[in-house]
Structure 1
Amino acid sequence: MHIVQIYKDYPPVVGGIEQHVRVLAEGLAQRGQQVTVLTTHAGRATREEQRNGVRVLRAGRLAYVASTPLSLQLLRLARSLRADLVHLHMPFPPGDLAALALPGAPALVVTYHSDIVRQRRLGQFYRPLQQLTLRRAHCIIATSAAYVRSSPVLRRYAARTHIVPLSVDVERFAHATGGTALRRRYLERGEGCLVLAVGVLRYYKGLPILIDAMTQLDATLLIVGGGPEEQRLRDLVQALGLARRVHFAGRVSDDELPAYYAAADLFVLPSHLRAEAFGIVQLEAMAAGLPVISTELGTGTSEVNQHGVTGFVVPPGDPLLLARAMRVLLENPDLRRHMGRAAQARARREYTHARMIERVLAVYAQAAQRAHGDVNQREQTR
């Protein structure tokens, strides 16, 4: 089966969805499927490459507007492909057009990763195209049941929606080395507790709330990642007098990343907006055996992290409540270890790459069956 995956970016671009698309595409290729990824890149000319058994077509961009790359080449490339199944990752409005442009009426699967949160006015113009795509889709995937219930768009299609959570390479994080050296680097005299936050530094990550919470605690915070909010966060750290206890590691390589989890005592995902639809970094922390503190957004964040079992779930946007939950874990090492073990066991049980790919393949089988039925129905009505 020839499967075309469509999303705006693809590794080496950093991001949770980008990483998920890569893991899925390469996993499908390893299982004998023919896989093409149709994506964009910052240049003007189309680039083609083979990455771990996957054909990657990177269309040149005309512009980048409201976090969306615009590319006529994307549509031209789509028209040139013959596929058995198209898997579109939303939201990516030009991807809807590309999925429509593929010839031959292939089966259509859509993963609905997130509502449009920040660009709501522009989202109104996208809505008719989005609804057309969702109506055409033979199957829809959501990464959590919570998101289906809370999304005003997605719950209309709940009957055709399948839950396939994101995934993590558990063993890569469970057996990491190098954590001790990192603790010595970031903790004065190697003593105290190290709180970790990881991710692209974007507006919805809630990191100002976490930094504010650190004023209530005797601990050190390490922020791993770069992004558009970095300078604002650094300024806030200086303004609050936290420069000795809040450190920025910047972007780190995939090879180095597990060591940062191994160095930490506690992981925090303080996101305060629904643009945080799942929080794949939670899975990395859980795989590393860390307890997690996340926020209740009505999304997958609090479905992955089970309150009172693998960590704590707190209301978003409240630094005092966040600090209180962190203090409970920082002051109780036995509880940290207990919840960390529970988190790692949950990651191994529910969130492996192999399990995610098996679930997706089951959805593909249903979509292909429905697409075949559509073809038969059209032929009978001629």
Structure 2
Amino acid sequence: MNVLHAYKVYRPDVDGGIPEVIAKLTQPNAAGDRAEILVARDRGPPRRYVLDGTPVRAVGSFGQISSMPIAPGFPLALRAAARRFDVLALHYPFPLNDLGVALGIPDDVAVVVHWHADIIGRGAVMPLLAPLIRRTLARADRIVVSHQSIFDGSSFLQPHAAKCVSIPFGVDTSEWTTIDDATRRRIEDLKREHPRLIVAMGRLVPYKGFSVLIEALQQIDGEVVIIGEGAERDNLQRLAQRLGVSDRLRLPGFLPRDEVKAYFHAARLFALPSVTIAEAFGLVQIEAMAVGLPVVNTALPTAVPTIARDGLEGLTVPVNDAPRLAAAINRLLDDPRLAADLGEAGRQRVAAEYELTVFQSAIRQVYEIAVESRRSRSAGEQTKT
């Protein structure tokens, strides 16, 4: 199959959970499928490049408004590119995907919507966006969610239950557990320099709750590193300075995978302090669990607290509650045995339930079914005519 994955941004401009999912789904496979990626630039002129063996086309962007690229050329690029593929894999939320579909997708191209989360915080423009979103979902042959809670919480998806399938994300556990000599030395250096290290990772955007983690740091005997890029970087730095914790906070930006692995293996725990339902799953939790890190997450009405479960693979605290977040983190820092037990339970759960090959195989099967369904429909329509 030839599959085009379409989303708003991709590496190296922006990293994060959805780009990570796309990267996993575009890896070469035994079936010889061909994948390409269509995105917009975070900011800047258009470019084409190959990343990890996959061709990427990044449409030019004038910048972002509320994490949305200003890329007027994207819908036209999507429509033009779609005809070369068997499957159009649309990753949501991204309204420019809907504009591209509205311009017209060939009838014989299967459309699979990866519904990562609902659009939130767009009240003023939702009356304009909603009809476009509904049109895309009506055109879709299949809709993929990572957890049942995403379907349950979405009024957009309810009318399309028959097309929806829940497939949890997966990770390559060997990628996170295989350490070369250079990385091992880096891990030991980090442990010596930061013996009570807390690691977090994600785009520096408000819904990730990193401001809550920085507030909690006032009550934590430890140091925090938040790996990732984003528009909130300056705000987070100013907050840390105002609260007097900037000497115990690191914001290194985007890091190469080996350096991320070093921080994960050197840390005592992983924090996921997200504050809105935009954090629908929290793939990075699984990566942390694969390393054997206990997780402190928040009680969102999404998949987040069902991945690293309270008292089993981590500790779950109320949303937007810095004192409770600090207390949970301190508990794990001060009780290495509890931290080790939760971390080992998480490692075992990832190996049993979230292996990458299972995820990739399940998604490929969805694509196959979508292609067969679309071809059968197209053949039936031709017969009628």
Pair 1:110 & 2:118 matched:
no
- Whether 1:345 aligns to 2:348 is yes
1:180 equivalenced with 2:162 (yes/no): no
1:338 maps to a residue whose letter is D
Deviation at 1:206, TM superposition (A): 1.1
- 366-375 or 245-254: which moved more? 245-254
**8 A Cα contact 2:295 2:313, kept in partner:** yes
The separation in 2 between residues aligned to 1:50 and 1:247, in whole angstroms, is 31
Please tell me whether the aligned partners of residues 108 and 375 of structure 2 are also in contact (alpha carbons under 8 angstroms): no
SS in 2 for 1:376: helix
SS in 1 for 2:27: helix
CA drift of 1:65 comes to 4.1
In the alignment, which residue of structure 2 is the partner of 1:199? 202
Supply the distance in 1 between the matched residues of 2:287 and 2:328 (Cα, whole angstroms). 20
Structure 1, 62-71 or 198-207: larger mean CA deviation = 62-71
How far 1:316 sits from its partner (Å)? 0.5
> In the TM superposition, what are the counterparts of 1:8-23 in structure 2 within 5 Å?
8-13=8-13, 14-23=15-24
- What code does the residue aligned with 2:37 have? V
Map 1:1-382; keep pairs closer than 5 Å: 1-13=1-13, 14-28=15-29, 31-41=31-41, 42-45=43-46, 47-61=47-61, 64-66=64-66, 67-72=68-73, 74-76=75-77, 78-80=79-81, 81-99=83-101, 101-176=104-179, 177=184, 178-185=186-193, 187=194, 190=195, 193-382=196-385
Rounded Cα–Cα distance in structure 2 between residues aligned with 1:224 and 1:76: 32
1:151-177 residue CA offsets vs partner (Å, 9 max, x unmatched): 232334333211122232322222342
TM-score relative to the length of structure 1: 0.90
2:55 partner amino acid: R
Residues 105, 99 of structure 1: CA spacing in aligned structure 2 closer, same or farther, 3 A cutoff? farther
Offset of 1:20 from its aligned partner?
Answer: 1.4
SS at match of 1:70: coil
Please identify, of 34-43 and 68-77, the stretch whose mean Cα deviation from structure 2 is larger: 68-77
3-state SS in 1 of match to 2:4: strand
Aligned-residue offset at 1:121: 1.9
> Unaligned stretches of 5+ in structure 1?
none
Mapped to 1, the partners of 2:70 and 2:28 lie a distance apart of 26
- State the alpha-carbon separation in 2 of the partners of residues 96 and 376 from structure 1: 25
Write out per-residue CA displacement over residues 123-155 of structure 1, whole angstroms, 9 at most, x where no aligned residue: 331110100111111110011112112223233
CA distance in 2, matches of 1:363, 1:117: 27
Higher mean alpha-carbon deviation, 55-64 vs 315-324, is at 55-64
More displaced 10-residue stretch of structure 1: 36-45 or 315-324: 36-45
Q: Distance in 2 between matches of 1:162 and 1:325?
A: 34
Q: Return the letter of the residue paired with 1:216.
A: Q
Question: Percentage identity across aligned positions?
Answer: 33
Runs of 4 or more above 6 Å deviation = none
CA contact (8 A) 2:61 2:69 kept: no
- Residues 229-253 of structure 1, C-alpha deviation per residue, up to 9 Å, x if partnerless? 2222222222222234333333322
Distance 2:240 2:115 in 1: 35
- AA aligned to 2:105 is L
**What's the Cα RMSD here?**
2.2
Corresponding pairs, count: 375
